[in-house]
């Protein structure tokens, strides 16, 4: 094990992100590295709106909600925090891409992010975190596509009779 080796993983709380979380845990175990799950949050309305009318109690609630989403991601993926890997979770008030690049600042870090599913409109409204990380990170970035199960769920005909989907 290399001293200080880290695997940083972005946590969004989405189903698509669970594949990236699984990959990051596998990499941390394989490398004997510390797993650093990072969830980033920004105030509702963005930083400029918050600076115009700051509300520290509300900011504390948003940070607490982000920590709960991080814990819930591990609950959904593994039934809790996995044993056998050292985990140092981080909750940061920042844009996700910038937060991940700032944390993954060592050449021997490994940054794991989910690729997600992106169309034109979502890319315009919210830039891709994975693309930002690939362009700006000082370390290796692994982009994990959504799982095959999630792709199947997205393409399923949910207007069909639910019992017919089970029988298929």
Helix, strand or coil, per DSSP, at residue 142: strand
Q: By C-alpha distance, which of 86, 89, 85, 87 is closest to 70?
A: 89
Tens-binned pLDDT, residue by residue, of the chain (168 aa): 445 799 999 999 887 789 999 999 999 999 999 999 999 999 999 999 999 999 999 999 999 999 999 999 999 999 999 999 999 999 999 999 999 999 999 999 999 999 865 556 555 555 689 899 999 999 999 999 876 665 565 565 656 555 555 555
Domain containing 98 — which CATH number? 3.40.50.620
> Does 113 map to a domain?
yes
> Does 1 map to a domain?
no
**Angle at CA of residue 94, ends 89 and 95, nearest 5°:** 105
0.85 exceeded by pTM: no
Q: Per DSSP, what are the bridge partners of residue 143?
A: 113
Q: What is the number of domains present in the chain?
A: 1
Alpha carbon separation from 116 to 56, 74, 77, 119, 131 (Å, rounded): 32, 18, 16, 10, 11
């Amino acid at each position: 094990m290399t001293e200080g080796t880290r695997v940083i993983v972005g946590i969004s709380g989405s189903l698509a992100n669970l594949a990236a979380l699984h990959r990051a845990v596998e990499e941390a175990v394989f490398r004997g590295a510390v797993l650093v799950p990072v969830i980033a949050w920004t105030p509702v309305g963005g930083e400029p709106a918050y600076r115009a009318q700051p509300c520290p109690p509300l900011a504390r609630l948003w940070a607490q909600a982000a920590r709960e989403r991080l814990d819930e991601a591990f609950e959904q993926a593994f039934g809790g925090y996995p044993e056998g890997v050292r985990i140092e979770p981080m909750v940061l008030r920042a844009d996700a891409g910038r937060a991940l690049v700032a944390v993954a600042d060592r050449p021997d870090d490994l940054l794991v992010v989910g690729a997600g599913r992106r169309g034109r409109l979502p890319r315009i409204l919210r830039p891709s975190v994975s693309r930002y990380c690939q362009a700006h990170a000082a370390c290796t970035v692994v982009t994990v596509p959504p799982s095959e199960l999630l792709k199947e769920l997205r393409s399923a005909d949910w207007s069909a009779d639910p019992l017919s989907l089970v029988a298929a």
